[in-house]
Amino acid sequence: MTASKRRGLMAASALLGGVMVLSACTGDGDKGGSAAADASTKSQAQIDEAAAQETSKARIVISPKNGADNAGINNDAKVTVSDGTLTQVTMTTAEGKSVKGEMAADSKSWKPSEQLERATTYKIAATAKDADGREAHENASFATVSKANSFIGNFTPEDGSTVGVGMPVSINFNKAITDKKAVQSGIKVSSSSGQEVVGHWFNSQRLDFRPDQYWTEGSTVTLKLDLDGVEGAKGVFGVQQKTVTFKIGRNQVSTVDVATKTMKVTQDGKTVKTILISAGSPENPTYNGQMVISEKFKETRMNGATVGFTDDDGKGEYDIKDVPHAMRLSTSGTFIHGNYWGPDSIFGSTNTSHGCVGLNDVKGANDPNQPGAWFYDNSIVGDVVIVKNSKDATIKPDNGLNGWNMSWAQWKAGSAV
């Protein structure tokens, strides 16, 4: 090949390469790639839009959150919805037992209609619809507070009862309370009489409430326990939520004079009866002070060994299986009761008991004309019995329901709020 031919071929090749490069960078190529990308993007947007149209706007919230533990048994469990209405809610235990519930009138919320059990796992399944009828679903499982991590308060008097003017509200907790302020703040005691009512802690497990003076006769007292979820001690929560009411009866106060060996019974300030008694002997005197009847027994057994009165063999100094018309005045064993084993002559003349106040009575508790029977029939739990002129000390305020032996200033000083 001649030199001129080679130069011509190289020129042609260069020209052809230039055309190819230019062709690869033309606007036509960009149009083709952009159109394909637009088509792909448009297709994804359409998919997303379609998916959004199928998703419900309803938003369900289940409380407690899934996996929660130590949930309260009264108020914690509930289901709510926004941008929609609830159509179905089911709640069951882990074993499948159904829990009844209440749907709000607007179908915006649901809650159990019964108190839950402690130390139990529950499951909730909820369904809701938005305005366009699209459904939403939520599920959750949680565990309620265990017995080990919760506390309750056993209280007296009972709901619906009628009691005497000296009856305090006494609450005994089954676990020691370290945050007394939090617990007392969750308890309210009020009287229809308008009397100021204050709580007093005797120890970490007992909280009593009373007014300055005895309750007003005929009034109604209300106890509200709002302790669900209240942390009484580290990791220990309350579970109670309830309201209790009781009625105050007539104002009966009986005064035992150990020196004269008589008891004067007054109702609403008027003396209705004077009864001859036999109180504690000089060796075993009766406590002085204001005492409240906390229990009544038509007949009961009294054994000295249970309250420390034993002989050299360790047996009780007395063991009477059928003491008639007995009413408890102290935790330590002080009673006012009928006495059939002593001669009639001791009543009004000699103090012979181991610390109790005895009234003349008969075995079997079946003679309503006996002083012991009369006093029993005319007394109710919460009535006050005052003992005076005994050689013994004044009974301690926490020995029974006897907080009236503290001044009002002393009583209020024991409040945590």
Q: What is the pLDDT of residues 7-44, one digit of tens each?
A: 444 444 443 344 333 333 334 444 445 544 454 555 65
Which amino acid, 308?
A: G
Q: Which residue has the tokens 């565990």?
A: 143
pLDDT at 379 over 80: yes
pLDDT at 261 over 90: yes
Q: What is the mean pLDDT of residues 373-386?
A: 98
* Marked catalytic residue, from 200, 325, 337, 354: 337
d(CA 290, CA 406): 10
How high is the pLDDT of residue 109?
98
How high is the pLDDT of residue 305?
63
pLDDT at 270 over 60: yes
Q: Which residue has the tokens 């009966």?
A: 252
Q: Where in the chain is the domain with CATH 2.60.40.3710?
A: 150-249
For domain 59-143, give the CATH number: 2.60.40.3780
Q: What is the mean pLDDT of residues 190-209?
A: 98
For domain 252-402, give the CATH number: 2.40.440.10
Q: Between the CA atoms of 364, 366, 368 and 374, what dihedral angle is there, to the nearest 10 degrees? A: 40
257's enclosing H/E stretch is strand 252-257
Burial class of 61 by CB neighbour count within 10 A (0 to 12, 13 to 18, 19+): middle
Choosing among 2.60.40.3710, 3.30.70.1230, 3.40.50.880, 3.30.70.1560, the CATH entry for 150-249 is 2.60.40.3710
- pTM beyond 0.85: the answer is no
What are residue 13's phi and psi, to 5 degrees? -65, -45
pLDDT at 262 over 80: yes
The mean-pLDDT minimum among 47-61, 169-183, 192-206, 290-304 falls in: 47-61
Burial class of 409 by CB neighbour count within 10 A (0 to 12, 13 to 18, 19+): exposed
* Marked catalytic residue, from 200, 325, 354, 356: 356
What are residue 195's phi and psi, to 5 degrees? -65, 145
How high is the pLDDT of residue 48?
53
- Banded pLDDT at 169 (limits 50, 70, 90): very high
How high is the pLDDT of residue 320?
86
How high is the pLDDT of residue 8?
45
- Banded pLDDT at 54 (limits 50, 70, 90): confident
How high is the pLDDT of residue 318?
61
Residue 185 three-state SS: helix
| Beta-strand pair 241-248/220-226 | antiparallel
Mean pLDDT over the full length of the chain: 89
Q: Where in the chain is the domain with CATH 2.60.40.3780?
A: 59-143
Find, among 275, 290, 262, the residue nearest to 378 by Cα. Answer: 275
pLDDT tens, residue by residue, 298-334: 999 887 666 666 666 666 666 889 999 999 999 999 9
- Contact predicate 32/39, CB 8 Å: no
Find, among 369, 360, 368, 380, the residue nearest to 262 by Cα. Answer: 360
pLDDT at 2 over 60: no
What's the chain's length in residues? 417
**CA distances, 178 to each of 146, 151, 183, 184 (Å):** 19, 12, 9, 11
Task: Name residue 220's beta-bridge partners.
Answer: 247
| Beta-strand pair 231-233/236-238 | antiparallel
Provide, rounded to the nearest whole percent, the portion of the chain with pLDDT above 70: 84
Q: For the chain, how many helices (H) and strands (E)?
A: 5, 27
Q: How many CB atoms lie within 10 A of CB 343?
A: 10
Q: How many CB atoms lie within 10 A of CB 397?
A: 20
d(CA 287, CA 265): 19
pLDDT at 203 over 50: yes
Provide, rounded to the nearest whole percent, the portion of the chain with pLDDT above 90: 81
Give, in degrees to the nearest 5, the angle at Cα 239 between 98 and 138. 40
Q: Is 337 in the active site? A: yes
The mean-pLDDT minimum among 55-59, 307-311, 407-411 falls in: 307-311
Find, among 86, 182, 73, 185, the residue nearest to 129 by Cα. Answer: 86
Contacts of 394 (CB under 8 A, 6+ apart): 287, 288, 289, 405
Q: Is 137 in the active site? A: no
Q: Where in the chain is the domain with CATH 2.40.440.10?
A: 252-402
pLDDT at 391 over 50: yes
Q: How many CB atoms lie within 10 A of CB 401?
A: 27
Sheet containing 241-248: order of strands: 162-163, 241-248, 220-226, 187-191
How high is the pLDDT of residue 319?
80
